Structure 1
Amino acid sequence: MIDAHTHLDVRSFEDLEKMAIAGIDYIITLAHDPYKMSAPEVYLDHWDRIINLEVKRGEIAGIKVLPGIGVHPMGFPKDWRELIKKIPEYLDKVICIGETGLHYLTKEEKNLLLEQLKIAKEYDKPIVIHTPEKNKEIALKRILEILEEIKIDESLVMIDHIDEETINLIDKDYYVGLSIQPGFKLDVKRACEIIKNNEDKKIILSSDLGSLKSDIYALPKAKLYMKKLNFDKNVIKKVVFKNAKKFYRI
């Protein structure tokens, strides 16, 4: 299994060990907004931790941690363009650009997303795009417009935190991220219902582990639940492993 979207820098070492014991082979850990991201230097330190310390913690725990870096829409400095210039310097050390996206739906966020998409397109690098809990449909429509504007290869894009009300808006061949995070996003039952009704989509499951309430066993629980419901074995393998493997080029 591949937990395709986490923020390990705010999780304990014991969580990593338990995930390894539970049969998770890879964890993708992405940039986010763990502090007040008031200056580019704060982000650079954050990226450095993801690339170095989190990968090392994974090695010690017996699990492969693969890092991604980007500028998150929920927290970025006023001089964010300085950060954007730095991203290409890290691309040989990371598996993707992310997490980026839209959250508060400001013009500045749109520009921030657009510039990171340009880098993903130019360097042929996968990019993970956040959608918010509130105003998700409006945000998704704007994201789809930006993607159409940039003309990026659809195989490079995962639109994350999608739910049953928005999945049908995605009519292109982008990867679709479902986050199992009960209380905030989807629970196992809802996620599996979406999978059952959308087998034509390239769905990727993740726990979206972070500082809020999360479940380190989200993927093993979803896999077991799908087995109990007699899901096709290939469908199960795609959503917990194969689609993420292909998207992230593991």
Structure 2
Amino acid sequence: METENPAQLPAPGSRDKATPAAPRSGRGRMAGTLVLLVVLAAVAAIAWWYFNQQTRERDSSSRLDALAAQVDQLARTNEQLRRDIDSLRSRYADSESMNRGIREEVLGFNERSRALEDAVANLADQRLSNRDAMALNEAEFILQLAGERLALFRDASGTLAAYRLADSALASAEDPLFANVRQTISAEMQAIEAAKPMQTRATLNALAKLRASLASLPLKTSPTDAQASTQTERSRLRQILSQFVRISHDDAAA
């Protein structure tokens, strides 16, 4: 016969110890969830910070590029301005040198004219005859006119003509002291001829006269017209000569 073993029941103490396991597992899950949320929040914060940092870097790089472009443009503009300033300085230097040369030339002419006037004035202090005094006054007046014309109009040809008149006026004087003045006038004439200033007004007048003379010239005729005019002139000449001379053939004499 088989013996039946009675079912073993759990002890009361062991049942009381197994029941608190469920609350502990729920607390662990909650803690893990919190940790996960914190990690996700940290990751999100890091991602947001990284995105903002990249955006700021892109903005700053674009701003730096714009600033660099502006700096390059300013540098090019500054270089162009420097070139313009250098060009203006060179032009100013050229104009200053040209003005200085013109000023020196005018001063030289004025000094020579003053020397001529002084020489004529010194001669006036001496005893001169009536003829010499008239020649001296005429030469002095002509020299003053020549100096004024050269200073105002730069008319070299008119000035040379006036100097020649003054020289001829002094040549008629008998006093040998006028020889020095004539030498000074000759030197002044040579200086003006060597300078060769521009005769703009005289050139324009010459061109105007040439143009007027060209308008009065006859046009070129064709060969047929020239032959016809030649035959007409010959026939007219024969008619005129026939009134005075008659030509006849003497056959008996032959």
TM-score (norm 1): 0.18
More strand by share: 1
Report which structure shows greater RCO (CA 8 Å, sep ≥6).
1
More helix by share: 2
